[in-house]
A = this chain, B = another copy of it.
């Protein structure tokens, strides 16, 4: 099988670097184009990118020349599929241009997540939303699928099996988010050593609105779920891995053991289709009293098992202060599953379903 040629928009940032690293030996995709802002165009990728991962830059990428984020440049490299990790201020316009140019775009930017015909996708959770692409194809030359905010992904994944089996009435979540969520230069060390920041701009709103779309239906158009969702978002001194304390009310009574069982049994299309980046077990439920912990569990147990693509849940217990109340801790790697990894899994799903 010939590999699909892909491009990465915003390839020099920290999420861009994750893409470069995760795609280096991908069985289906081959990176052919790395784009960045105009100051970097023409430079070698190794010069343009201040590499911040703890594994070396792939040598294949190091010597590639950075190109501009436009259709002509991408077309010249034979690119069909484009991953976007653009800064949010430029994503809105550029992603649209690329789609208009006939490309398939998978974006983890927020620009088009809430568009009326754009799926906001977690492959295990709402792959049926890809139906919306039918509508897109009628209007657009290319197509676009988006992935959610890094904070929404682990939460939505952990809620899906509960919603399916017991129904969800209310979800309150308090987050302890990793530094990498703000980008490499996002949080100054002076702001976070011996400290935390109990605020992340627009994050609480995103979690609520994205969750309702993801856990909602698509029948010709998107219909939000009617779960009541509230969030309080906070930054802590952790490099990678968003930890979230979830309080919820189910529609039908469920014990902590019921919830654990439904999570353990949960599988989505990526598992059924055995997609290359799919974790074997999408939700790992741990039984220790003090897990998951971001440093120990963000890679989901072992590099071999899930490489940061699984969601890890622990401390599932009753919450007496709510009716049919349950509380638990959920952890998800924010730049792997919460960004590049989810987007790559989306692309794999599109490919496996013959949509690209």
Contacts and interface: CB of A to CB of B under 8 A. Distances in A.
Given A52-B190, A194-B238, A315 B199 contact: yes
A188 interface: yes
A234 interface: yes
A345 B32 CA distance: 40
Nearest to A325: B230
Nearest to A329: B198
A297 B54 CA distance: 7
A179 B187 CA distance: 13
Contacts of A303: 55, 303
Contact of A195 (B186, B201, B295): B295
A212 to B, nearest CB: 11
A289 to B, nearest CB: 5
Interface string A194-236: 1111110100000010000000000000000000111010101
B189 A193 contact: yes
Interface stretch (A68-76, A169-177, A251-259): A169-177
Nearest to A188: B185
A227 to B, nearest CB: 9
Contacts of A292: 198
Contact of A315 (B172, B198, B243): B198
Contacts of A186: 188, 190
Given A236-B196, A292-B198, A228 B320 contact: yes
Interface size class of A (residues with CB under 8 A): 35 or more
A293 B195 contact: yes
Contacts of A232: 174, 245, 247, 327, 329
Given A188-B186, A189-B187, A325-B230, A295 B194 contact: yes
A193 B194 contact: yes
A294 B195 CA distance: 6
B322 A199 contact: no
A299 interface: yes
A191 interface: yes
Interface in A6-26: 14
Of A198, A199, A297, the most chain B CB neighbours within 10 A belong to: A198
A-side interface mostly: loop
Contacts of A198: 243, 245, 290-293, 314-315, 329
A217 to B, nearest CB: 20
Residue among A56, A172, A195, A228 with max Cβ neighbours from chain B (10 Å): A195
A324 to B, nearest CB: 13
A100 to B, nearest CB: 35
Contact of A293 (B176, B197, B322): B197
Interface in A300-315: 301-303, 305, 314-315
Given A290-B198, A293-B198, A327-B232, A237 B321 contact: no
Contacts of A80: none
Contacts of A170: 321-322
Contacts of A53: 296
Contact of A189 (B172, B188, B315, B322): B188
A90 interface: no
7 contacts: A52-B296, A171-B321, A194-B238, A196-B236, A196-B293, A198-B314, A228-B322
